[in-house]
């Protein structure tokens, strides 16, 4: 692979950037260099459909050239020319200026994925050829001001050929800036930045899946949703067990029905099973009127568990204040299917309250 930057312009050269819109309506960003009375095109972007994309293309090409140079030459300082001390004669000064002018032609070679393309300024390209496409820019200030003190000394051929450190300062469309590379006696420079100043993140392994019992990841969340542990003394419940039961549903002022159901071992489950059966099988009861089918009446039904039958034994459940009947099913009803008598009636409306000047009393 040939060298990316064979010759660099003098530190006093001025670098600029212009935006051009072609006749086809496409935009192109061009990096220019002005030296004395000459202007040369160093790099240009690909034809783009917008100004921002043209700037971005120019920046990407400059950054790619910088990356190829670093891969080829590392972070070694580049050779550059500087003027001698003020006591040098006119001949030496003229020689330096002449060499600086000769060094203003920068040859860049960019290695692409398909072939090797040599990019040269428009001033050195053949006639009819396409202008140059991308270059590494320096800041307006001379790199001489960033030169370490130990590089100073008397003018000699070695000092004239002393390398300089250069970095790409073409600004991306977002306006982010990158500091100049430090001198060799400083700490090693950081890796070259990527577009918009965001470095390449190292690959990380995905987080391990949560153990069983923990909640999954909710939609849009950045971390697993871990369910809180149960309070002390309470073990997390397993799957709910369902028991076969026999129900004697007595609907007051109508009739009764005996059904076989499967539900949980609780008072609430028995009440819900009884009400569900009446609402879905009203025609199975006697004395049912159209008023009983109205939504207000249907949802005004309430159920109460009155008695429990385990084999030949009968138990009064009207005064039972609990809800869980698991022990009763497992101990008393393990040899037989238990039967429960459930009484269903409408909720009676609350009597109206009449307020009088002398007090409050019911109607």
CATH number at residue 272: 3.10.20
Same structural domain, 37 and 163: yes
Mean pLDDT over 295-322 rounds to 90
243 CB-near residues (< 8 Å, 6+ apart): 262, 263, 264, 265, 329, 333, 338
Q: How far is CA 227 from CA 58, 220, 261, in A?
A: 51, 17, 34
Mean pLDDT over 181-199 rounds to 53
Mean pLDDT over 37-47 rounds to 80
- Which of these, 108, 61, 209, 235, lies nearest to 53 by C-alpha position? 61
| pLDDT of 221 above 60 | no
- Across 235-346, the runs of DSSP E, i.e. the strands, are 243-251, 255-263, 301-310, 313-316, 339-346
Same structural domain, 341 and 266: yes
Q: What is the pLDDT of residue 339?
A: 93
Mean pLDDT over 276-281 rounds to 93
Q: How far apart are CA 277 and CA 42, in angstroms?
A: 88
Q: How far apart are CA 179 and CA 68, in angstroms?
A: 19
- Which of these, 303, 193, 290, lies nearest to 257 by C-alpha position? 303
Contact present, 155 and 161 (Cβ < 8 Å) = no
105 CB-near residues (< 8 Å, 6+ apart): 7, 40, 120, 121, 123, 124
* Residue 211, in any domain of the structure: no
| pLDDT of 54 above 80 | yes
Same structural domain, 41 and 146: yes
* Residue 197, in any domain of the structure: no
CA 26 to chain centre: 34
Same structural domain, 170 and 278: no
| pLDDT of 27 above 70 | yes
Mean pLDDT over 264-282 rounds to 93
Q: How far apart are CA 307 and CA 250, in angstroms?
A: 12
How many structural domains are present in the chain? 2
The mean-pLDDT minimum among 11-15, 48-52, 283-287 falls in 11-15
Same structural domain, 168 and 44: yes
Same structural domain, 255 and 139: no
Domain region containing 115? 14-187
71, containing H or E segment: helix 51-73
Q: How do residues 93-128 score in pLDDT, each as one tens digit? A: 444 444 444 444 433 444 433 344 434 444 444 444
Give first-to-last CA distance, the chain, whole Å.
Answer: 106
Contact present, 78 and 104 (Cβ < 8 Å) = no
Same structural domain, 264 and 171: no
313 CB-near residues (< 8 Å, 6+ apart): 332
Contact present, 265 and 241 (Cβ < 8 Å) = yes
Q: What is the pLDDT of residue 236?
A: 55
Mean pLDDT over 298-311 rounds to 91
Q: How far apart are CA 120 and CA 131, in angstroms?
A: 8
Same structural domain, 294 and 158: no
Same structural domain, 280 and 151: no
Query: What is the chain's mean pLDDT, rounded?
Result: 67
- Which of these, 1, 170, 161, 195, lies nearest to 77 by C-alpha position? 161
Same structural domain, 250 and 180: no
* Residue 220, in any domain of the structure: no
Structure tokens at 161: 């050929």
Model confidence band, residue 257 (pLDDT cutoffs 50, 70, 90): very high
Same structural domain, 87 and 177: yes
Q: What is the pLDDT of residue 316?
A: 92
Q: What is the pLDDT of residue 249?
A: 95
Same structural domain, 59 and 181: yes
Model confidence band, residue 44 (pLDDT cutoffs 50, 70, 90): confident
* Residue 328, in any domain of the structure: yes
Q: How far apart are CA 98 and CA 90, in angstroms?
A: 12
- Across the chain, the runs of DSSP E, i.e. the strands, are 14-21, 27-35, 38-44, 78-79, 108-111, 116-119, 163-164, 243-251, 255-263, 301-310, 313-316, 339-346, 353-356, 359-362
Q: How do residues 122-163 score in pLDDT, each as one tens digit? A: 444 444 445 444 444 444 444 444 444 444 444 444 444 444
């Amino acid at each position: 692979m040939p060298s990316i930057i064979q010759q660099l312009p003098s530190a006093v050269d001025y670098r600029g950037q212009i935006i051009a819109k072609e006749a086809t309506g496409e935009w192109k960003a061009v990096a220019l260099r002005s030296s004395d009375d000459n202007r040369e095109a160093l790099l240009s972007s690909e034809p783009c459909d917008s100004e921002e994309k043209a700037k971005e293309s120019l920046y990407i090409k400059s950054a790619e050239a910088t990356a190829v140079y670093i891969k080829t030459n590392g972070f070694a300082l580049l050779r550059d020319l500087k003027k001698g001390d003020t006591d040098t004669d006119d001949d030496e000064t003229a020689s330096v200026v002449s060499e600086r002018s000769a060094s203003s032609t920068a040859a860049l070679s960019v290695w692409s994925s398909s072939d090797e393309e040599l990019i040269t300024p428009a001033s050195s390209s053949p006639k009819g050829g396409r202008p140059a496409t991308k270059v590494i820019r320096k800041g307006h200030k001379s790199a001489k001001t960033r030169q370490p003190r130990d590089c100073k000394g008397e003018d000699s051929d070695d000092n004239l050929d002393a390398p300089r450190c250069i970095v790409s300062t073409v600004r991306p469309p977002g306006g982010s800036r990158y500091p100049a590379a430090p001198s060799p006696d400083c700490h090693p420079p950081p890796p070259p930045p990527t577009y918009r100043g965001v470095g390449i993140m190292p690959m990380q392994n995905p987080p391990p899946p949560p153990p069983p019992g923990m909640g999954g990841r909710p939609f849009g969340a950045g971390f697993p949703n871990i369910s809180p542990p149960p309070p002390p003394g309470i073990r997390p419940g397993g799957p709910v067990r369902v028991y076969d039961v026999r129900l004697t549903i007595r609907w007051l002022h109508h009739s009764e029905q005996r059904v076989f159901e499967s539900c949980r071992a609780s008072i609430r489950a028995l009440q819900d099973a009884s009400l569900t059966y009446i609402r879905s099988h009203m025609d199975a009861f006697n004395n049912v009127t159209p008023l009983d089918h109205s939504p207000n009446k249907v949802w005004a039904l309430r159920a109460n568990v009155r008695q429990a039958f385990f084999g030949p034994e009968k138990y009064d459940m009207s005064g039972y204040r609990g809800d869980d009947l698991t022990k009763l099913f497992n101990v008393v009803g393990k040899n037989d299917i238990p039967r429960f008598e459930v009484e269903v009636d409408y909720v009676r409306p609350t009597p109206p309250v009449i307020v009088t000047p002398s007090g409050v009393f019911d109607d």
